[in-house]
Structure 1
Amino acid sequence: MLSTRLLSAPLRGALFVVIASFGFSIMNLLVRMASEELPVMEVTFFRNFFAFIFMLPWLLRVGIGELKTKRIKLHFIRSLNGIAAMAVWFLSISLLPMAQAVALNFTVPLFATLGAVIFLKEVVKLRRWIATAFGFVGVLVILRPGTQDVSILMLLPVLAAALMAISVLLIKTLTQTEKPSVTVFYTTIFMTLFSLVPAIFVWEWPSQKIWFAVAGVGLLGAIANLLVTKALAITDASSVMPFDYTRLPFMALIAFFAVGEVPDIWTWVGGGIIAASAIYIAHREARIRRRAQAELSTRDTLRPASHAPRGTV
């Protein structure tokens, strides 16, 4: 079997993301199955609980000493928001055609762009604004207001995307001072505890089949997240982000064979528009970041020797 180490970093990153996308798609199917028997908040708890169990060996290997933080409040807020995003997403998967929900959920980068301007005071140029607007046109293509009744349920994946975008911004803030292992540790612990509280009030013991489903949700969620983290660690996000959108064809195929769902043409067209705009935004952000790094490197290179600290040779 060909080792992934023989592949270049971008190819390995792309492979990790494609496998993760397939894992997320299977996870969504298991969420649908579990939600037919259990309340969504209980499924949310099991997702976090089993993810914590499966990630425990990795967390222990990192070592408690490496998990200190001075930003516990921000971890707390990020985890509360993460629970809300997960619960809304699971609810949308349980009530809507799965491919349609996935296509609408592609709007996460669009909301993240808006949030970066509002909360992080980032400067967004005209082309990124046009791409963001273009992405929201894709949402309208899928929903088609005026030609069909737009149920409030159809807005659930968009709400989930907005909440996920807030998580992206919070993680972006945390990574300025925190190691990824620290963020993963506190997020896993807090989200498990926070999801347990509402789950207790609606608790129903799963059947044997559903035990396997909720355990699979946790396992696949943990593995897929680690694969994405690994991909982002070895290559630039803009190189692998296009492969994240394989979730739509994966989800469409799985939903067709598992439950007989067939997405309409507007789901494909709208999903494609949203994905194209998000990919463009990612490439623009990567180009701006590389340019800023190059300018910083150039300034360091051209800095006069008289600026060197005294005592150096």
Structure 2
Amino acid sequence: MAITAESPDTQPQNALQAAIWVVGAAASFMLMMIAVRELTTTMSSFQVLSFRSIVGIPIMCLVAWHMGFRKIRSRRVGMQISRNIVHFGGQWCWVIGVTLLPLAHVTALDFTMPMWTAVIAILFLGEKAKSHRVFALLMGLAGVLVILRPGLEIVTEGALVVLFGAVLYGASNVMMKSLLSEDAPWVIVFWMQVIQLPLSLLPAIFWFDWVWPEWADAPWLLAIGVTGMTAHFCLARAFQLADATVCIPVDFVRLPLAALVGWLFYSEGLSIWVLAGALLIFGGNYYSVWRETRSGKPVRDKA
């Protein structure tokens, strides 16, 4: 989704409301993580993602009915398909990471997504490699090295998968930037649910053992379908109310929240190295957003 840095003047009341919406998005992401953990104990990652679309499609159909079904027509079907293949790859990597790594570790590495978006935009869209973007990239890479500590610790497959997923999310954001010139954000979300259903359902049925869910799984299945949309809705509302420089720092609440959830439900700890690396990544992201806001350029967020 597109988030412009040129928001209305941020009043204290708007800033508080925006912060609450950002915390709501963080809570949605955390509930999604718990749902993934619980469901993947018996289901494959592809089956979990298929239920995300199965639950999400009826909700988006209600939105389409309210907005008018004619308006869901995409002017760039080919780009929609390409973008969703890439985006689905990012989602699959994220789900795998949640099953293999502590939740705080996944969240910290997920903060690198804006960095990869900038790199891909520079390489493939010809955007300028401005000094603040280079600085954010270097800070992000330093943060990744602090978290992974190659040479001192074994770099796990889970960490590499999450990083690759962040790269795919970055590529998806760049493709979405092109789509937004002709398709509305909610149209993109609608087609995301529709296109990604066969991408997840076919492997879940033919490559893995399909496990029929039990009634005890129903709350988690509902959560996996709803939270993906509520997270992005909350972020959209936050950025409508306040500048990116107000919202981005609050988004960092995801890390302590992930650490708290991991500790309460899964007896996970928060490594000082993960915290330090996340602070470096966050610092680079925030500085880049602050500079872009001053120049009135658009800031992009994951959809």
The normalised TM-score by structure 1 is 0.86
Letter of the structure 2 residue corresponding to residue 251 of structure 1: A
Please give the residue correspondences for 1:186-205 in structure 2 after superposition, counting only pairs within 5 Å: 186-201=191-206, 202=208, 203-205=210-212
Q: Which residue of 2 aligns with 1:274?
A: 281
Letter of the structure 2 residue corresponding to residue 225 of structure 1: H
Letter of the structure 1 residue corresponding to residue 277 of structure 2: G
Structure 1, residues 115-152: CA drift from partner, whole Å, max 9, x if none?
A: 11011111121232022111110011011111111122
Q: Which residue of 2 aligns with 1:304?
A: none
CA contact (8 A) 1:132 1:281 kept: no
Q: Which residue of 2 aligns with 1:240?
A: 247
Letter of the structure 1 residue corresponding to residue 293 of structure 2: A
Q: Which residue of 2 aligns with 1:305?
A: none
CA contact (8 A) 1:112 1:166 kept: yes
Please give the residue correspondences for 1:7-26 in structure 2 after superposition, counting only pairs within 5 Å: 8-26=13-31
1:152 to 137, 146, 157: 157
Please give the residue correspondences for 1:74-223 in structure 2 after superposition, counting only pairs within 5 Å: 74-201=79-206, 202=208, 203-223=210-230
CA RMSD of aligned residues (A): 1.8
The normalised TM-score by structure 2 is 0.89
User: How far, CA to CA, are the matches of 1:178 and 1:237 in structure 2?
Assistant: 23
User: How far, CA to CA, are the matches of 1:290 and 1:195 in structure 2?
Assistant: 36
Letter of the structure 2 residue corresponding to residue 170 of structure 1: M
Per-residue deviation at 1:51? 2.1
SS at match of 1:52: helix
Q: 1:175–1:151: structure 2 CA closer, same or farther, 3 Å change rule?
A: same
Q: Which moved more, 1:15-24 or 1:50-59?
A: 50-59
Letter of the structure 1 residue corresponding to residue 254 of structure 2: R
Matched residues, number: 286
Q: 1:15–1:260: structure 2 CA closer, same or farther, 3 Å change rule?
A: same
Q: Per chain length, whose mean CA-contact separation is higher, i.e. which structure has more relative contact order (CA < 8 Å, sep 6+)?
A: 2
User: How far, CA to CA, are the matches of 2:297 and 2:105 in structure 1?
Assistant: 35
User: How far, CA to CA, are the matches of 2:168 and 2:227 in structure 1?
Assistant: 21
User: How far, CA to CA, are the matches of 2:203 and 2:195 in structure 1?
Assistant: 14
1:65 to 34, 49, 70: 70
Unmatched 5+ residue regions in structure 2?
A: 1-10, 299-303
Q: Which moved more, 1:100-109 or 1:149-158?
A: 149-158
Per-residue deviation at 1:96? 0.9
Per-residue deviation at 1:7? 6.7
User: How far, CA to CA, are the matches of 2:102 and 2:283 in structure 1?
Assistant: 22
Q: List, as ranges, runs of 4+ consecutive aligned residues in structure 1 with deviation greater than 6 Å.
A: none
Per-residue deviation at 1:101? 1.0
CA contact (8 A) 1:128 1:284 kept: no
Q: Which residue of 2 aligns with 1:254?
A: 261
Q: 1:68–1:56: structure 2 CA closer, same or farther, 3 Å change rule?
A: closer
1:263 to 253, 270, 273: 270
Letter of the structure 2 residue corresponding to residue 287 of structure 1: R
Q: Which moved more, 1:129-138 or 1:59-68?
A: 59-68
Structure 1, residues 248-304: CA drift from partner, whole Å, max 9, x if none?
A: 11111011101111121111111111111111112222222359xxxxxxxxxxxxx
Percentage of pairs with the same residue = 30
2:50 to 21, 45, 50: 45
Letter of the structure 1 residue corresponding to residue 233 of structure 2: L
CA contact (8 A) 2:64 2:71 kept: no
User: How far, CA to CA, are the matches of 1:30 and 1:59 in structure 2?
Assistant: 27
